[in-house]
Amino acid sequence: MFTARLISILALSLSSTAALAGPTICVWDPIGKGGQIFDAVKNFALAAQSKGVEITLKAFTDEKVAADEFRVGQCDGLMATSIRTRSYNNFTVALDHGGAATIVRDGKIDMDASYKVIQKAMQVLAAPGADKLNVQDRFEVVGILPTGALYTMVRDKQVFKKGFAGVRMPAFDNDPVQAFLIARAGATPVAVNIRNFVSMFNNGNVDVVFAPAVAYQPLEIHKGVGTKGGVSRFPLAFTSLQLVIDRAKFPAGFGEKSRQFWVDQFDEVAKAVRKAESSIPPQTWVDFDAAEAAAFVAQQRETRVELGKRGEYNKQALKFMKRVRCSVHPGATDCATTAEIDW
């Protein structure tokens, strides 16, 4: 009798544990569990726990492995770069498109205004009723973590004067847009992955890398830049990590509350990003004049339009970002045109 009762209690206990078992999120962080990305998602999981959602986190230093785990259903959510998440949502990834958030004022980058574009876009995406922008099929983007401006970092500053023709440039095999841009620049693609592209740069196997300032010190990019290299002041884009989930594995309404959590973190995240930018030595930055800045903005706009027509970019997402951008800086030249509005 006692044995039967014990078995019955254990069975009930195990079934209750299984019922309470919550979803799992795969988190890519190049540093692992000790990194800032994992720490940010850990804070998110604690906030979710206070609302009754128990989330288990799994850290990965290899982004491809994290993405593969999510793809085959070993994880119910994925925090990764938009390169990996855009196959689940091609709208929210528009925040990361080249020049989509960039504000140029009086021939110079207005970083405060550019980050305001990102913040406003996140606020709109987190607003009640914005589910249709965040949901595609059974997947939903429930959080965006800005990582800052994406800068061109080179081993030799002369590249900025001579151009990128023949320059060895890192090429990720899962990024067709990057392949298009490398070809357009006339650069020489060198196969890399998220784990080795910085070491390839530091060891001289590639001549340039593209990275946000938050990666400069932790990943020791300064070793590759050295005394001859430099960092372009003009950002290629403003990058983010995005949290995508399988909606069936989370409670109804989870996405909207989750997105608001990440919006609420924006000021603190932006402060950390700007601190990282200011930590790059002044002599390392390479500035451009007003004419060069205007030409670069025009080139980025033409590239977005072309990629939209080719189907690589979501046209409605480009329209969305232009409207946000022009709400921050209505005096911008392209705000008087129908480019990225009329398709």
Phi, psi of 105 (to 5 degrees): -130, 125
Residues facing residue 58 across a β-bridge: 26
- Hey, which residues does 146 pair with through a beta bridge? 240
Confidence at residue 172, expressed as pLDDT on a 0 to 100 scale: 87
Arithmetic mean of pLDDT, 204-223: 96
Average pLDDT over residues 228-240: 96
- The amino acid present at 93, given as its one-letter code, is V
- Convert the pLDDT of each residue in 315-329 to its tens digit: 999 999 999 999 999
Distance CA 332, CA 114 (A): 12
Residue 10, pLDDT > 80, answer no
**What are the structural domains of the chain?**
21-336 (3.40.190.170)
Burial of 128 (0-12, 13-18, 19+ CB in 10 A): exposed
- pLDDT of 21 reads 63
Question: What is the overall mean pLDDT for the chain?
Answer: 92
Residue 163 has φ and ψ, to the nearest 5°, of 100, 175
The residue ranges of DSSP E strands in 48-119, in sequence order, are 56-60, 77-81, 104-105, 108-109
Beta carbons within 8 Å of 45's beta carbon, 6+ residues apart: 25, 55, 57
pLDDT at 176: 83
Question: Does the pLDDT at position 37 exceed 90?
Answer: yes
> Which pLDDT band, with edges at 50, 70 and 90, does 8 fall under?
very low
Q: Residues 297, 324, 258, CA angle at the centre, nearest 5°?
A: 120
Helix (H) / strand (E) element for 289: namely none
Sequence-distant (≥ 6) Cβ neighbours of residue 64 within 8 angstroms: 84, 174, 193, 194
Reported as a single tens digit per residue, the pLDDT across 238-258 is 999 999 999 999 999 999 999
pLDDT digits (tens, 9 = 90+) for 42-66: 999 999 999 999 999 999 999 999 9
The beta-strand segments (E) located in 93-134 are 104-105, 108-109
